[in-house]
Amino acid sequence: MATPVSQTTTESPLLSVKNLQTSFFTDKETIRAVDRISFDIHRGETVGIVGESGSGKSVTARSIMGLVDSPGRIVGGSVQFSDVDTVERLAEEYPGQTIDLADIRAEHDPAALIEQLQSREADLSRLNGPGMADRDPVELVREGSVTMGDLVAGGYTDQLGITDEDAYIVRDADDGGFVDITGASEAAYRKIRGRGIAMIFQDPLTSLNPVYTVGNQIKEAIRLHQGLQGDEAHQEAIRLLEAVSIPDAHRRVDEYPHEFSGGMRQRAVIAMALACKPQLLICDEPTTALDVTIQAQILELLMEIQEERDLAIMFITHDMGVIAEIADQVNVMYSGELVEKAPVESVFGAPKHPYTQGLLESIPGRHPDEDRLRTIEGDVPTPNVKPTYCRFAPRCPKAFDACDVVHPVNVDVSEDVDDNHTAACLLYPEDLPESDAVEHHRKRGDGGDDQ
């Protein structure tokens, strides 16, 4: 069940996706499958991503995992993974691509650097957090809300030539630093995948090799990521199968995937993922192919595992019911963009974006007294051009003229201070008159800031 996550604002996130952009290049067009989305995932938290088919939710997951297939590729943004263990492992392996913040702090003063940047007329908008747009950056540094880490993460030190552009591992003695996964090589990715971030797919059969026993495959993962061998690995595999509630694990460990039922296979895949001891588990529609009673089992299992291991989970689904069940935070995607972001209670209790509203309204049973279901007109468009308008406008019942010419950015729509609820719609901020709100979006949109 969803737990309130008020601590999220204080603790730094485990995974921070910033302006991530992934495009597919075909002969005919460029499809902006993921178009500048930003969100955070904290430890112990489940972040749900919902959207219809074609909204880009799976591509988001694959981008984080570095599994985007040609002709697609990540064209912008960063994915910062702040797991200390992963940072240390990679820093050891790739010292040439590591930035040690301690060194830079010793040599430079952030305020001085900012002045240097200002003299070069660099765009400093990436530094300013929400609500700080109009403040002087130097002042922000003085009061501590902008640090050297922010300068490095924003790429400003690269601009000044202090750090190497290729460096993507940032070590920080204070809060562990981060790895910008989008900069990692394939070899480095392999070190992050599994042990840092593991992924579960919709069809468990794609992750299981039919010619090896389930146990063999789990043992392989254990051998790779935990260094256990022989009987130790065997016992660990059985323990893991038991941990995912597979009865009679002693026998099951020697069976082949085809001897498992659908639900059991998904459990085995989860066991395999756990064998790597990941910090973040990405679940891409893991229960879509399963029956509802089995789905309930798997969801229960995931919640148990999360509690036991303080896992962060990114859960992708199109089923609003499942999201309500499992997620703490919800990101709603539409046509490659993140249109609404909020704690689960707010999304279901007070959805702000017309798309989210429409999506929820079309679920049967929302209005038991009505005979007809409410629908959203039209289809999800293919995001093949840079948006200078609202992509939902053609289907939006609340659209007005400005929707066709101004691209909305995510603005704060929280009803509660701790809510952290944003929506990308020109109707907001609600307290501003319409024209001012539009102007607000236009200005922020031009600045290139998506936050």
Partner 1 sequence: MSELLQEDDPATNENGPLVEVNGLKTYYDTGGLFGSNPVKAVDGVDFAIDRGETLGLVGESGSGKTTLGRTLVQLESATEGEVLFDGTDVTTLSGSDLKNWRREAQIVFQDPESSLNHRMTIGEIIREPLDVHDWPNFSVAVDDPEDRSVSVSGDGIRADPNESADITVELAGAGPSIAVRDALAMNADSVDVSVSEQSSSVSVSVSVAVSKAQLRRAHVRDLLETVGLREEHYYRYPHQFSGGQRQRVGIARSLALEPEFVVLDEPVSALDVSVQAKILNLLEDLQSEFGLTYLFIAHDLSVVRHICDRVAVMYLGHIMEIGETEELFQNPENPYTYSLLSAIPEPDPTADRERVTLRGTPPSPRDPPSGCPFSTRCPVKIRPEAFRDVDEHTWESVETLREILRERENREMGVRDHAKALLGLETGFEDFVDVAEEVFTRNGSLEAEGVATEGLDDSARIERALDDIDPVAREPLKETIELVLADKESRAHELLVETFESDCGEQSPEHHSVSDSGRTSYCHRHRSEFDDTAVAFDDLLSSAE
Partner 2 sequence: MSETVTQTKSFGERILEQPGPALVWVLGLLILGALEMGAIAEVTVAIVSALASAFASLGTAVLGGPVLPSISGSIAGGLESAATVAAGLPDLVSRSVIPNQGYQTPDGVWHGTFLGLEPKYAWLLRVALVYGYMFVFLWWLWRGYRTYVANYRTADWTPRDDMVRRLRSHSWGKFGMVVVICFVGMAMFAPTVSPSTGDQNMYNMNAHDIQYFDEETGSVEEISVLQANFQSASQGSGSQNVGLWQYDEFNRFHPFGTLTSPGQDLFTFMAYGARISLLVGVVAISIALVLAAGLGMITAYYKGLADLTVVFVSDTIQSLPSLLVLMLASMVFSHHWLGKIYNGGLLLAVMFGIVYFPNMWRSIRGPALQVAEEEWVDAAKSYGQRSSTTMRKHMLPYILGYLLIYGSMSIGGVIIGTAGLTFLGFGINPPVPEWGRAISMGQAYVTTPAWHISLLPGLLIVVVVTGFNALGDGIRDAMDPESEGEDTSAGVGATGGGA
Name which of partner 1, partner 2, none residue 381 binds, using a CB cut-off of 5 to 8 Å depending on partner kind: partner 2
For the chain, state the CA radius of gyration: 23
Name which of partner 2, partner 1, none residue 322 binds, using a CB cut-off of 5 to 8 Å depending on partner kind: partner 1
Q: Is 321 in the site for partner 2 (CB under 8 A)?
A: no
Name which of partner 2, partner 1, none residue 26 binds, using a CB cut-off of 5 to 8 Å depending on partner kind: partner 2
Name which of partner 1, partner 2, none residue 249 binds, using a CB cut-off of 5 to 8 Å depending on partner kind: partner 1
Q: Answer yes or no: are the C-beta atoms of 44 and 370 closer than 8 Å.
A: no
Number of Cβ within a 10 Å radius of residue 243: 18
The three-class DSSP label of residue 24 is strand
Q: How many Cα atoms are found within 13 Å in the side-chain-facing hemisphere of 407? A: 16
Q: Between β-strands 337-343 and 422-424, what pairing exists: parallel, antiparallel or unpaired?
A: antiparallel
Q: Kindly state the smallest distance separating residue 200's Cβ from partner 1, in Å.
A: 18
Name which of partner 1, partner 2, none residue 6 binds, using a CB cut-off of 5 to 8 Å depending on partner kind: none
User: CA-to-CA distance for 18 and 451, rounded, in angstroms?
Assistant: 9
Q: Is 26 in the site for partner 2 (CB under 8 A)?
A: yes
User: CA-to-CA distance for 180 and 169, rounded, in angstroms?
Assistant: 6
What number of chain residues touch partner 2 (CB under 8 A)?
8
User: CA-to-CA distance for 114 and 138, rounded, in angstroms?
Assistant: 7
Name which of partner 2, partner 1, none residue 96 binds, using a CB cut-off of 5 to 8 Å depending on partner kind: none
Q: Answer yes or no: are the C-beta atoms of 385 and 316 closer than 8 Å.
A: no
User: CA-to-CA distance for 228 and 158, rounded, in angstroms?
Assistant: 41
The stretch near partner 2 (CB under 8 A) out of 102-110, 166-174, 220-228, 373-381 is 373-381
User: CA-to-CA distance for 29 and 36, rounded, in angstroms?
Assistant: 18
Q: 3-state secondary structure string, 266-317? A: HHHHHHHHHHCCCCEEEEECCCCCCCHHHHHHHHHHHHHHHHHHCCEEEEEE
**DSSP per-residue string spanning 322-338:** HHHHH-SEEEEEETTEE
Name which of partner 1, partner 2, none residue 363 binds, using a CB cut-off of 5 to 8 Å depending on partner kind: partner 1
What does the per-residue mask of binding to partner 2 show for 375-404, with x meaning CB under 8 A?
---xx-xx-x--------------------
Q: Residue 73 or residue 239: which is nearer to partner 2 going by CB?
A: 73
The stretch near partner 2 (CB under 8 A) out of 7-15, 128-136, 147-155, 374-382 is 374-382
CA-nearest of 408, 281, 401, 280 to 334 is 408
Name which of partner 1, partner 2, none residue 177 binds, using a CB cut-off of 5 to 8 Å depending on partner kind: none
Q: Kindly state the smallest distance separating residue 347's Cβ from partner 1, in Å.
A: 8
Q: Is 28 in the site for partner 2 (CB under 8 A)?
A: yes
Q: Is 372 in the site for partner 2 (CB under 8 A)?
A: no
Q: Kindly state the smallest distance separating residue 376's Cβ from partner 1, in Å.
A: 4
Q: Kindly state the smallest distance separating residue 382's Cβ from partner 2, in Å.
A: 4
Bridge partners of 39, per DSSP, are 17
Q: Answer yes or no: are the C-beta atoms of 314 and 329 closer than 8 Å.
A: no
Q: Kindly state the smallest distance separating residue 167's Cβ from partner 2, in Å.
A: 37
Which residues contact partner 1 by CB under 8 A?
1-2, 52-53, 242, 247-251, 253-254, 261-264, 291-297, 299-300, 318-325, 327, 344-345, 348-349, 358-360, 362-366, 371-376, 379-380
Summarize as ranges the residues that interact with partner 2 (CB under 8 A). Answer: 26, 28, 54, 378-379, 381-382, 384
